[in-house]
Structure 1
Amino acid sequence: MRMILRAMLLTLLLAGAAAAAPLPLASGVNLHEWLNWSPLAEDGSYRWPPYRSVAEWQAGGRPASDWPATDPFADLRALGFDYVRLTVDPGPLLASAGARRAEALAVLAEAVDRLLAADLKVVFNLHSVSQVPQNGPDVINAPAGSPQVAGYIAMVAEVAQMLTPLGTDRVAIEPYNEPAHYPCDASGSEDWQEIMAATVAAIRAVSADITIVATGACGGSVTGLTDIRPDFDDPDILYSFHMYEPHSFTHQRADSEGDFASGLPWPASAGSAELTVEMLKAHMLAAGLNEAEQARNLAAVGRAIETYFAEDWGEAQLTARIGEAVAWARANGIPPTRLFMGEFGAILMSADGRMGAFNADRLRYLSAARQAAEANGIAWAIWEYANPYGMSVLAPSGPAVPDREMLRALGL
């Protein structure tokens, strides 16, 4: 009888191990403007209770009357996305404790519930921002074992406690966004390795099966991911990287306010440095810049233009870069389907031509990045649902209608 019981127990354990898998995700969208930059009081502290209401978020980028009188999250689901990467400012949580922190967590639980009610899964991403410096990115970029990092990890465990009852079949936790911890080479420290391992352990002490999205350092890039040793791996962990490469294409904007930096084509072979310069001159002339101002602006951006075309960025390089993450996963016995492209996107050219890519080039880039991820079974999340800054699924201004060409580029 004892041997039979042992066999039954072993069978159950093996079945449980076989069933272990992360939250299934496919086509997602970042929702960033709602719960980041929690409103501040006049003295610079967080308004309490913290975070914006849905109405405040909707009125932040355009008049509230530009939104349809429907549930924005149901509308989002109807576009074909199956999950939201919900970015959340951890600042109010770091600035509170006890009952006050519980109050903030309750606000966030209600927000997640609203998304779940719209049939959207949620990747809950703690996304540090710099508006209150003592609770900003410097906290997660502090050394391993420091009081700042220890306090952050303890807060993450409380977030996991809040999320777990909402359903580990519907929610995942991503405790960091784009940590720095440079340099990204052999001269770097072990700090990020230690921090990520300690964070996974703290979450697992709360929940054995909630999906954790782990990230590398170096801005959450492919390089940061491939620097990780996944000693802490388990079947319910996804591994994140962000794809904004080449940055010179995806984030075309000048270092000096008011200058022009736009119009690089995708792929690079679709244009030339000379054509890009001529296009910039036309935009600057239309804006009324004199010859001296144009010459100064072109001198400031000229090297970046030359470098972009010299590197000849295109689909092959993009696919190869994502392939580095795939090769890392396979080398560590991790299925590539447990990779997670948590952000990708490109700025659309502004009306005055000061920044961004032409729409046709942007759409080609988005399609190439999305298809390279999908070819390896990698879930992705586009940046971002609704903002006025040129990287938005909804029109950046005016009526809050979806960009149908962008959706087609995303296969939706």
Structure 2
Amino acid sequence: MGRAVLISLLLVLPLLGCGSREAAPTGPDPQRVERLARGVNLAHAFTASSDGPPVWNVGAQDYALIRGLGLRHVRTLIELGLIIDPGSEDGLNAAAVIELHRVIKEANRAGLMFVLALQLDDASKQRLAVDSTARQRLVTLWQVLAKALAAIPPDDLLFELLNEPTVEDAIIVQSLMAQLVAAVREVAPRHTLVVTGPHFSDAQNLLQLQPLADPNLVYSFHFYEPHNFTHQGANWGWSMWRQLHNLPYPSSPEAVAPVLDTLTADARPHAEWYGQERWNRDRLAAPIMQVAEWGRRHKLQIWCSEFGVYRYYVNERYRSAWLRDVRELLESGGIAWTHWDYANGFGLASGEPGERKADVATVQALGLMP
């Protein structure tokens, strides 16, 4: 045997051995997929403190309630400003990272997988659309953050790379997602990562995303259709939502007619249009089943990481009907889901921290244990 051939074999054999010991994954670990099937968001769970790390306002009682309902995971948005420290060596707030470790492990001990989703303010997101330097800073940040949390077992923690990019350019978001996945993979090779489409991560936005080469990914979208129903009375977003109250579901001109005289003149045409659109289970099914089919065609794990109805200005009967329809449609499409939210305006529970109680109508609509 020639010396060159011998050297070539010695180089190749270790690679063959590695491949035989651990085959390349074909998708997210089935155990993680199972735990992702049903969960709840913990919105605004982290709040800033004046002289220390972020304050976490969810505790053992909340985790017991969540797990007792049959939910298997929680999802939390962490705002960028709460975890960075430009003056530190790695750019992270060390106290905030320690607190993150603590709350993630507390959820894990309660039997809940933790999904950590990064949230940027609107101005920062818009910079991503026009500034390659801003995109690179985000990539670098994620690599540092993932490295700081990589010791947490992959079965207990998923990394969601960016909540609602708002950037409308699908090509830019496609490139950014690929960069983020590659960067995190260098420090967290086995953790499942969550990617999403452009704009506000609606169902049609996810369809604009080309599947990435990494198999250990979850593809996420949000579902709030129609927004005039799910966000009626909301004091953020589109100003007209503040003036829309008591809209029914399903919608039709006849169902909406009794409400029209109670609305402002500005809001009335929008309520009439909502009735004319005839939102019902079949109309909700169209975008959900389109995403489900897209996922099946590409052999991807699809996850609806947010869906819900703002509860303060809607009849509970209509809210429950919408939640039930959407939840059943997601499940019939094989789509994992996470309700928005746990204990705020969209919540499945109410009350002060440590004393929260589950809302029976919401629990029943979500098909959970009483």
Conserved 8 A contact 1:32-1:86: yes
Conserved 8 A contact 1:139-1:152: no
Equivalent residue number for residue 148 of structure 1? 134
CA distance in 2 between counterparts of 1:258 and 1:243 reads 17
Conserved 8 A contact 1:367-1:410: yes
CA distance in 2 between counterparts of 1:324 and 1:246 reads 16
CA distance in 2 between counterparts of 1:181 and 1:140 reads 7
State the SS of the aligned residue for 1:197: helix
State the SS of the aligned residue for 2:45: strand
> What amino acid sits opposite 2:174 in the alignment?
Q
Select 2:66's aligned residue among 67, 76, 86.
76
Conserved 8 A contact 2:204-2:287: no
Equivalent residue number for residue 216 of structure 2? 236
Q: Are 1:317 and 2:283 counterparts? A: yes
Select 1:408's aligned residue among 355, 364, 367.
364
Structure 1 residue 48 displacement after superposition: 4.3
Conserved 8 A contact 1:90-1:126: yes
Equivalent residue number for residue 166 of structure 1? 152
Mapping for residues 9-408 of structure 1, pairs under 5 Å: 10-14=19-23, 16-17=24-25, 21=29, 23-24=32-33, 25-35=36-46, 37-39=47-49, 47-54=50-57, 71-96=61-86, 97-98=88-89, 101-128=93-120, 136-142=121-127, 143=129, 146-182=132-168, 188=169, 190-230=171-211, 232-253=212-233, 260-269=243-252, 271-278=254-261, 280=262, 298-331=264-297, 333-335=298-300, 338-348=301-311, 350=312, 356-387=313-344, 389=345, 391-395=346-350, 400-408=356-364
Structure 1 residue 103 displacement after superposition: 2.9
Structure 1 residue ranges without an equivalent (≥5): 40-46, 59-69, 129-135, 183-187, 281-296, 351-355
Q: For residues 230-279 of structure 1, what are the alpha-carbon distances to aligned partners after superposition, in whole Å with 9 as ceiling and x for unaligned?
A: 2x23221000000000101100127669964212111114952312214x
Identify the range of structure 1 (239-248 vs 207-216) with the bigger mean alpha-carbon deviation: 207-216
> What amino acid sits opposite 2:166 in the alignment?
A
Structure 1 residue 95 displacement after superposition: 4.1
> What amino acid sits opposite 2:21 in the alignment?
L
CA distance in 2 between counterparts of 1:241 and 1:161 reads 26
Structure 1 residue 364 displacement after superposition: 0.7
> What amino acid sits opposite 2:105 in the alignment?
D
> What amino acid sits opposite 2:115 in the alignment?
V
CA 1:72 to 1:361, structure 2 compared with 1: closer, same or farther past 3 Å? same
CA distance in 2 between counterparts of 1:9 and 1:203 reads 22
> What amino acid sits opposite 1:385 in the alignment?
Y
Conserved 8 A contact 2:170-2:209: no
CA 1:250 to 1:257, structure 2 compared with 1: closer, same or farther past 3 Å? closer
TM-score after normalising by structure 2:
0.85
TM-score after normalising by structure 1:
0.77
Structure 1 residue 396 displacement after superposition: 5.9
CA 1:190 to 1:317, structure 2 compared with 1: closer, same or farther past 3 Å? same
CA distance in 2 between counterparts of 1:219 and 1:378 reads 19
Structure 1 residue 140 displacement after superposition: 2.8
Structure 1 residue 189 displacement after superposition: 6.0
CA distance in 2 between counterparts of 1:205 and 1:18 reads 19
State the SS of the aligned residue for 1:218: coil
CA 1:267 to 1:411, structure 2 compared with 1: closer, same or farther past 3 Å? same
State the SS of the aligned residue for 1:86: strand
Equivalent residue number for residue 283 of structure 1? none
Conserved 8 A contact 1:123-1:174: yes
Q: For residues 102-144 of structure 1, what are the alpha-carbon distances to aligned partners after superposition, in whole Å with 9 as ceiling and x for unaligned?
A: 332122111111111111101111123xxxxxxx232233236
CA 1:49 to 1:210, structure 2 compared with 1: closer, same or farther past 3 Å? same
CA distance in 1 between counterparts of 2:217 and 2:331 reads 19
Q: For residues 150-193 of structure 1, what are the alpha-carbon distances to aligned partners after superposition, in whole Å with 9 as ceiling and x for unaligned?
A: 222211112212332111011100021111112xxxxx462211
Conserved 8 A contact 2:252-2:277: no
> What amino acid sits opposite 1:81 in the alignment?
L
> What amino acid sits opposite 1:200 in the alignment?
V
Conserved 8 A contact 1:125-1:175: yes
> What amino acid sits opposite 1:167 in the alignment?
P
CA 1:400 to 1:124, structure 2 compared with 1: closer, same or farther past 3 Å? same
Number of residue pairs matched by the alignment: 348
State the SS of the aligned residue for 2:105: helix
Structure 2 residue ranges without an equivalent (≥5): 1-8
CA distance in 2 between counterparts of 1:19 and 1:11 reads 18
CA distance in 1 between counterparts of 2:352 and 2:97 reads 32
Provide the identity percentage. 27
CA 1:6 to 1:73, structure 2 compared with 1: closer, same or farther past 3 Å? closer
State the SS of the aligned residue for 1:124: strand
CA 1:75 to 1:334, structure 2 compared with 1: closer, same or farther past 3 Å? same
